[in-house]
Amino acid sequence: MGTSVEIVVSLADSKKAEEAWEAAFGEIQGIDFLMSNYREDSEVSRINRNAGKKETLVSPETLRVIERALEFSSLSGGAFDISIASVFRLWNFREGKLPDEKSLMGKLPKVDYRRIKVDRARSSVYLQEQGMEIDLGAIAKGYAVDRASAILQEKGIENFIVNAGGDLKVNGSKEEGVAWTVGIQHPRLPSTMIAKLSLRQTAVATSGDYQKFFIKGGERYHHLLNPSTGTPARESQSVTVMAPSAMDADALATAIFILGPEKGLSLIERLPNVHTIIVDRRGSVLISPNWPKGVLLPP
Q: Give the domain ranges of the chain.
A: 43-127, 179-297
- Helical segments of 111-245, H only: 140-154
Q: Give the pLDDT of the chain (299 residues) as one tens digit per residue.
A: 778 899 999 989 999 999 999 999 999 999 999 999 999 999 999 999 999 999 999 999 999 999 999 999 999 999 999 999 999 999 999 999 999 999 999 999 999 999 999 999 999 999 999 999 999 999 999 999 999 999 999 999 999 999 998 899 999 999 999 999 999 999 999 999 999 999 999 999 999 999 899 999 999 999 999 999 999 999 999 999 999 999 999 999 999 999 999 999 999 999 999 999 999 999 999 999 989 999 999 88
Residues 199 and 160: beta-carbon distance below 8 Å: no
Rounded to 5°, the CA angle 197-198-202 comes to 90
Q: What is the pLDDT of residue 185?
A: 95
Q: What is the pLDDT of residue 149?
A: 98
Q: What is the pLDDT of residue 3?
A: 84
Q: Which CATH class is domain 179-297?
A: alpha beta
Q: What is the pLDDT of residue 228?
A: 97
CB neighbour list of residue 154: distance below 8 Å, 6 or more residues apart:
23
Q: What is the pLDDT of residue 299?
A: 85
Q: What is the pLDDT of residue 267?
A: 97
Distance of CA 53 to the CA centre of its chain: 29
Q: Which CATH architecture has domain 43-127?
A: Orthogonal Bundle (1.10)
DSSP helix/strand/coil, 181 = strand
Pairing between β-strand 56-57 and β-strand 202-208 as defined by DSSP bridges: unpaired
Quick check: do 43-127 and 179-297 share a fold? no
Q: What is the pLDDT of residue 97?
A: 93
Residues 207 and 224: beta-carbon distance below 8 Å: yes
Q: Could you tell me where the beta strands, DSSP code E, fall in the chain?
A: 5-9, 56-57, 116-119, 124-127, 160-164, 167-171, 180-185, 193-199, 202-208, 213-216, 219-222, 236-243, 275-280, 285-287, 296-297
Rounded to 5°, the CA angle 276-81-266 comes to 35
C-alpha 81/C-alpha 18 separation (Å) is 37
Q: What is the pLDDT of residue 298?
A: 87
Residues 115 and 102: beta-carbon distance below 8 Å: no
C-alpha 82/C-alpha 13 separation (Å) is 41
